[in-house]
A and B are shown apart, each in its own frame.
Chain A
């Protein structure tokens, strides 16, 4: 498609190949968990058995918030964040802004966790980094998201790592476009009767060609999110605000207005939520209250995008009187090109702008990108296998990561379902993942051939996945299909069916591979290891 000169193509092939093989295994982990994390909310509802029918913001919250306010020390009443947690419970974070030891702004306060009946279940004190960790009922979805966002490496290194992986994916997408001369001619060609290298090349190039625009979008938005807080904000704040990150944050996200610190009780929050739901047609995803308890208090409700749009909606209310002021952009005080671009980065990356349908499409595209990453690394190894026998370990490593990671994630889900009723899900979800990963590594070391290893991991993953609905129902005492449908949670039976179908598919693939192997074995003889 794009005709580079021979030496330029050679350089791009080197860039594409080396960026892929050096960072591909980690990139695969990020992309795979990201694919699963598209449905993190649904997986949370499925795994924890959410059966509450009403959003917390569709019910009265004003009295609960005032009760919590009375319990909160005055120094933490500077601001309040309200959001849904668990099975339509309420999370309330009273906090103040302060600077940490490195001069970076943080939020410190008290985080109250209420269930959907309004009962206070837990109170946690600390900074936002310390207190917003996984809970017992959302340990599985938190595990998926945290693996994707920072590979469980502490900040800022985890974010920097995933940011670099995003840049690597961007480089691979652009260089792949530059080196593929016949992009459209090859777009439907998947050979079977050809040399293994050509077969693998077709698999990689067809999947990557079709998903190219999204590889670009997801790599670009992903690295934006990773680098935004770790590098971008400090650098821009240094240059434009003399290092004052809070001033930058105020300029970009703040609501300008004349300060008025006179103490005034906050307005009726139920009036705000009812009005916001009436205006947008759906409940808020988040409510931010600045200058809580002051005459200049402001309440901002954040909502999913309107139909046909992808930019989230934000409504501004006067905090003291609970009256509607105006609709505002999520970024910036007035509508602007920069604010819109910043506002759509999230929906473009998460695919959550149009409910289940957009998420399903993003899930499919994420799967395509896992496939592209995996087949790309396989192609690199297979191309060199005949020349260099020492690459056999790399081929096995690829199989261990490629099929061991789904096995680890499925096992983590199983462990969550077993331990959630016992209150130990946070520990065992991660522990089970690590144990399953260790088992996959051991299998990689001792398996007689790479082919056997691949079949073993596929089969094991399939068996665990088939068992997940049973564990959800009996071990986690989750709702049956009838109850789930009655409360408007079709996602529960849908995910049950999806896991069973995927599990059966994997077991069949493993079995079919074993049958082919037996058919091609010489009669009465043994085969050599691959």
Chain B
């Protein structure tokens, strides 16, 4: 569909912007950032923006972000209704990730866009198809003379059979194919087999012949694809921008540290490229411009190349892939350079030319330029390896990471060390147990989340650069710099600190090295060290870190809204001050949440951004410390000063010092920021800085996390808790469990977030748990608690100002106790609680808020268990800080509790703020999105360990319809009819009202039916069956509680979708649990 004569009007058009839905592996917060930036850019141009996204945890779905915000499923059905209501002139598809792109294509195919005369703005659909179809793409590249990896197929002639084919004839075909793609090694790929089996790099002719023989036999269409192997080449990405006048620029290039063969989202990535000469860089730059022109892209686009040094001045390259839209890489490129790709893309879609768009960072140049940078950017992914012990985390062509951290330094060493601190990833390897052979095979040759740490370990063992480069396939230039870090670290125990600091370690890390810690252990942590006696010595010796600007131009122009990174550059004596903040006004540093991981998602960025906005509303300058390039909090215009830094006490204290901040907020960035609270107080005191940790005291936060102190407090207040205790040995644990009665809930006391938590049903279970999972000891006790079987779980989010408490909302979980609260669907308002119970919930919340002297947010998790004497309310956990349900509550009720909290922490009373509680008249259901399809081998059953990556919200007049909409939004819609397999006996009859129920003689028959697409819904708690459903993308329900909710939703199938802007949903001013 192209612009026709009566296309999008130039004056004040209505633009539909489609978001990317829930956070999932491969699609994280980057589209919240790009969508939020686009909303503002479009409104600046006078457009009326209509936004649709199902993810309530995003900034883009804040009511004030667009003229109409719909938190609705991203399905053609829901969006068609939005289009009918809003009558947009155009839709921008390229800003909502693959989700936004796909649904736009479907809307076009179904004729909806034509019916309502909605133009696709920016990049046309044809282009999207051309990049997604391998053959079409190859053809288009060949048309403009761009090299793509060479490829050919070996086929059987009609009537020919591979068993009859003689050896010589087969060998001849194989030889021809190898010659056609430029010689061995090649990638042999059998087409249309399941799960890519039979694919791989082949170095040897005999092996290839065998593979082809086997492939031809197995392949459904008797075809084997032979492709030139570019494994081991350097992988690069170019971010390109083009306007309607055909002005094209490159925003930056990015070089993957890990060679070709590992998904760029899984790779450590460096900007700008380090190992490519100018000739090669310019050849690829020109190629990128030729490609973007050929494809007719308008706006941002990402092109991947493979490159190798073949001895010519410029080397040799191949075009690998084009992403015709804003992507994760564009978020990274934007943050790495300061060039706002989403903003410019949105304006280009409206017809603006690049030179007509202001560069807001310099304030004096335009978007028609290529950023110059004078620093090194390193991105490292963050993997959920700790959550999935059954999953093989070998890195490959599919993404498994959930998020990423970005760091900036003046050398690669500094940049890398900052990135590793920012990622907060601690490898679960005890190197002492790993011999050299295993180190080589499992940790250096095999790419894994632990590889950077393994490289340091290798240097500590005396490996040389060449050996490490050979094993890892990483360019020597990079390996040499790892070696420099390892070499520098060796100085520390000798009392030589300066050079160790210069390479990029923090003083804390240098002190830990001085105490004898190994490099591989130290690089992972920012604050995870015991106070070292060396610290003051180290701090006095090392070069001070100073802040430098990210200004898009490498200093060529004075910047008006730059952001900052720290570096230990030599002190020049010129003493130019780069930080442009007013140190005399009241200001506060808000600590962000770092990379997105399971349990700490985009919700915390939402909270941090709201804190910033609240402070600015009060006239207080707000500075942000964060390192996640995907987020709104790290956008250059979100705060008064953005500091792209690792979140360690030392580095946050640097920001406090540079900005002269009066306060620092650690409540909003999830566990990352909470953890920094205590060491930060120590560090601020050590430096004599007059800056307070605002809100609820660090001690109260610690009290809430300290099992014993918290128990005592609850007892004192007469608040019920599940019975339980701490065991420091196997015997103690067994005794305790017997005393409480099985089932019991067990977990180690030293990890948070439900990690390694289990419900165990017998002594044998418990012993196995202790044996395999935790190894209980006096240093590492385990907690054993009464398990409230069948209890209803609740979440409460509240705000307190030290005197008064405002309850944001009470949420009732769909899942019963035993499923992590972060993995359970929940509804607001609660659907099954009576007024007396709600009143008790309120009372308990207020009591805890008072007892903890809460100033700011408070999240309380409770369980309600029916007994003979009525419903008893138990407290499971209380956390005086932001929770992952804060944005959901705010979207459902319209009460901005994160902002209220920030204002309370800044000293305002809830009374002054005119805050009031509101109860929604419609029901909103939050549903989670689980990553099992991305992590082969994972156990798809829900349990006490959180596994979900993201969430969606569905709202309707009834719980049942809201639940149905939430399933649609989560991408697992409940079929209205068809064939179901139900393993919960109690529910057979109910499901039979909607489905034909199928039964099978054995598991194998069930798996077969699932694979053949004969099952429309699987209702079971059996792991293998669920795993098959995940693999085959068959909708499933894995708990009895969610099966009951599903039945309710089935009954509501006929109800209207009830699509409405979020701010049009009615609420009443009334207290939760009030009279």
Real binding pair: no
A residues lining the B interface (CB < 8 Å) = none
B residues lining the A interface (CB < 8 Å) = none
